[in-house]
Amino acid sequence: MKYAAQRLLQAVPVFAATTFLIYAMVFALPGDPILALAGDKPLPQNILHTLHQQYHLDDPLLVQYGIYMAGVFAHGDLGQTFTGRPVSELLADRWAVTAQLALTAWAFELIVGVALGVLAGLRRGGAADTAVLAGTTFVIAVPVFVVGYTAQIIFGLDLGLFPTAGVSDGWPTSYLLPGVVLGSFGLAYVARLTRTSLVENLRADYVRTATAKGLPRRRVIGLHALRNSLIPVVTYLGIDIGNLMAGAVVTEGIFNIPGIGQQVFQSIQLQEGPVVVGVVTLLVMIFLLANLIVDLLYGALDPRIRRA
């Protein structure tokens, strides 16, 4: 419990610094968002002044940030768009779509990536090891939009195995193909991390000792070698859940998925700063929560870390 509380307290200054930096970058951009919303139509000065007061645009940056954070912690309020719609309401449906896509990609990385890494690590130098290393190198080298359009054409249009756009068919049908595309880059790293870490741990003294004691090979690998090998993999997977949600913009664009990536892209074009800040604030929370879970898993995988 003390270990978890310490990690939670360490996340507080990180959250404050990160959200303030993002808030400052978004609202320090040149131009008046109210005038941008009006387009070519002139706004009367009294309406412009009223809207500036309503959204605190004339207040110092620290005051604006303080008001925003007070709303987040007191009421879970992520602010309002410049059209008066609550940001949380705008993101509600889209957030669920992106979360399903990211979790599908994350599960693909975890299951397939670890399996490929274990296969390559146990057959180091063999055909399986070579195939995994070559395949993951190829995936890392190819841009995600190339993988996305190629998968869309082959598996969607030519073979007709998956829908090519939208989420009308629901989970998992509409999410499997974009989830695999989104998770392909992370899968390559998970497989390589698992393989490298497993190879190193199979040479460790404690593995040789367990083998000398006559323990079954499955128990030696699963309980001893693989358990310690998963520590760097857990680190990557914990961080990557946030990366998947933040990096879904390209994949959502290719497959026309109505998620937060699409919404952020539209909000940047319209200079809707509150929407961008609201999305980033939620992503920062996910990053910190994922890191906290990773720290707790460290203690479960290796009690020495918890005691230290």
In the chain, residues under CATH classification 1.10.3720.10 are 92-307
pLDDT digits (tens, 9 = 90+) for 190-215: 999 999 888 888 887 777 777 777 77
Q: Residue 80: helix, strand or coil by DSSP?
A: strand
Quickly name the fold that domain 92-307 has: MetI-like fold (1.10.3720)
pLDDT digits (tens, 9 = 90+) for 28-46: 766 677 766 666 677 677 7
* CB 278, CB 88: distance < 8 Å: yes
Over its C-alpha atoms, the chain yields an Rg (Å, rounded) of: 24
What are the beta bridge partners of residue 11? none
* CB 159, CB 78: distance < 8 Å: no
pLDDT digits (tens, 9 = 90+) for 147-162: 888 999 999 888 888 8
Residue 112 has pLDDT above 60, yes or no: yes
Residue 88 has pLDDT above 90, yes or no: no
Residue of 296 and 110 predicted with greater confidence: 110
Predicted confidence band of residue 1 (pLDDT cuts 50, 70, 90)? low
Q: Which of 165, 305, 152, 154 is nearest to 228 (CA)?
A: 305
pTM of the model: 0.76
Distance, in Å, from the CA atom of 21 to the CA atom of 33, rounded to the nearest integer, reads 19
Q: Which of 145, 117, 142, 143 is nearest to 131 (CA)?
A: 117
Tell me which of 13-17, 50-54, 187-191, 296-300 is least confident.
296-300
Q: Residue 86: helix, strand or coil by DSSP?
A: strand
